[in-house]
Copies of this chain bind each other. A is one copy, B any other.
Amino acid sequence: MLENAKEQNFISPEEYALAEADFQKKTAVLQQEIKKKKLPVILLFEGLSASGKGNRIASVIANLDPRFYEVYSIAERDTLEKRMPMLWRYFIKTPAKGQIAIFDRSWYRDLLYTDTGKKLTKKEYKNRLESIRTMERQLSEDGCLILKFFLLISKKEQKNRLRQLEKKKSTRWRVTPEDKKQNEKYKSYLSAADTMLKNSDFPYAPWHIIKSDDGMSANAAVYRIVTEKIEENLNPTRLPSAKVQGAYKHFTLLKPPLLKDVPLDKTMRSDVYQKMLAHYQKKLLKLHNKIYLNKKPVILAFEGWDAAGKGGNIKRVASALDPRGFAVNPIASPTEEELMHHYLWRFWKLLPKDGHIAIFDRTWYGRVLVERIENLCSEEEWKRAYNEINEFEYELHKWGALILKFWLQIDKEEQLRRFQERVNVPSKRWKITDEDWRNREKWPQYEEAVNEMTSRTSTSFAPWHIIQGNNKRYGRIQTLSIITDYLEKHLS
């Protein structure tokens, strides 16, 4: 790609002044439009050392209202970032609708450098590239405009700039040994960058190569692309989905049973329950220890009918664990801020550190359950979500996470019994709301949605487990035994 980069017209200071004035005038209007139309925008700058990433960004933001943008400098990972999935620090920084996120370096760093300074293996490279493609596609389908700039300078100009920086005491520290190496091995570095560009020039997020030997013409080129692309995306002529054909990963799916085929007649005597509970909780605590030592992240996701016993099940799991090593995340309706982001954003933010357990009381599957049934998202959105969720969980799996998903099943009569108990017992009354009764009326729609959910998102790395919940004791022991078995198998 680099050898075919378009020549930019060298422009005079007078022409540049005009380009700047034009950009200023246009952005004054465009940032209002971005806000109004709720367009999220990512501007991403990569490039050779000393190619002027900082200068390009400074020129762009000098013309923007600070309420509309955020600048992120992507450096080496810090201790927390190292304990999280590769995409984590990026996804949580993606812009809200109507906002611009500007990245000085980005996730493409991860294609050029390992975290340890060693060369990436082919497999690592492929893996990371896949993660990046997935993220950019997901954001793009959600309506995000992603503008990727690669700044190119000649070997001679790079050498010249590095020399200038080194001359002055105040800027000498900016020149790293890596920068110098890059200039010495300019050709091989450029070829690595070229491969990266070719591999990641996605139709929904293409690269823009900016020749940057001359700062003014480089700025002018960036100005032009930014305004053009934003204008285009404020009035899109194509559906976003049209942009991303063929970009989906195929997942092999397991075949969980339909809800109607799940037996619910099992019971368990109290004394048996107490014994088994003690047994599994002891086992689980030991495994928690191992999770910590092996630095494994663990994700336990609970979904189920209202009053199916999610709270009780979670309590039996949680009370076995060391409180320092887990968190329970109760998922309520999204806040305003959360609604302004990709719907997976708030779940990325709740991921555990490695060695820790995150328990979700309701999950990202809300998208294909309540949001589907209550029309809180479009049909296109919830249909797309099955694949997005598989991809999300696959990212967690690649990171090393152990993922267990539970659907707590009860039948309609048992639910009614529990609802009535909640109404009748004062200390349980707060647990029952009008919404629960309304949801109950939609039992058939929910059943269909659950069956579709489990059949479309049961993967080998994140399978669904249907818990037989009519008998609370039986269901809790079933949950605990599935968790302990799974962890034992995967922690050896």
| A interface residues (Cβ-Cβ under 8 A, vs B) | 25, 28-29, 32, 54, 57-58, 61-62, 65-67, 70-71, 73, 78-80, 102, 104, 170-171, 173, 286, 289-290, 293, 311, 314-315, 318-319, 321-325, 327-330, 332, 335-337, 359, 361, 427, 430
Contact = CB atoms under 8 A, between A and B. Distances in A.
Contacts of A78: 78-80
Given A79-B79, A171-B289, A324 B71 contact: yes
Contacts of A80: 78-80
Contact of A324 (B54, B66, B327, B335): B54
Nearest to A73: B324
Contacts of A311: 65-66
A102 B57 CA distance: 42
Nearest to A29: B427
A319 B58 contact: yes
Given A28-B427, A78-B78, A80-B80, A289 B322 contact: no
Given A58-B322, A71-B323, A327-B71, A293 B66 contact: no
Q: So how many copies of this chain end up in the complex? A: 2
A325 B61 CA distance: 13
Contacts of A293: 173
A106 to B, nearest CB: 13
Given A25-B427, A104-B323, A323-B57, A62 B337 contact: no
The 4 closest A-B pairs by CB, nearest first: A66-B328, A62-B319, A67-B330, A73-B324
Nearest to A319: B62
A308 to B, nearest CB: 16
A151 B207 CA distance: 59
Nearest to A171: B289
A76 to B, nearest CB: 10
Contacts of A321: 58
Residue of A54, A66, A73, A330 ringed by the most chain B CB atoms within 10 A: A66
30 contacts: A28-B427, A29-B427, A32-B430, A58-B319, A58-B321, A58-B322, A61-B319, A61-B323, A62-B315, A62-B318, A66-B311, A66-B314, A66-B329, A66-B330, A67-B332, A67-B361, A70-B327, A71-B323, A78-B78, A78-B79, A102-B323, A104-B323, A170-B286, A170-B289, A170-B290, A171-B289, A173-B293, A335-B335, A335-B337, A337-B337
Contacts of A286: 170
A54 B290 contact: no
Contacts of A361: 66-67
A171 B289 CA distance: 8
Contacts of A314: 66
Nearest to A61: B323
B104 A324 contact: yes
A80 B67 CA distance: 25
Nearest to A74: B324
Contacts of A359: 66
Nearest to A289: B170
A65 B314 CA distance: 10
A7 B32 CA distance: 67
Given A58-B321, A66-B361, A337-B337, 15 more contacts: A28-B427, A32-B430, A58-B322, A66-B314, A67-B332, A70-B327, A71-B324, A73-B324, A73-B325, A79-B80, A80-B80, A102-B323, A170-B286, A171-B289, A335-B337
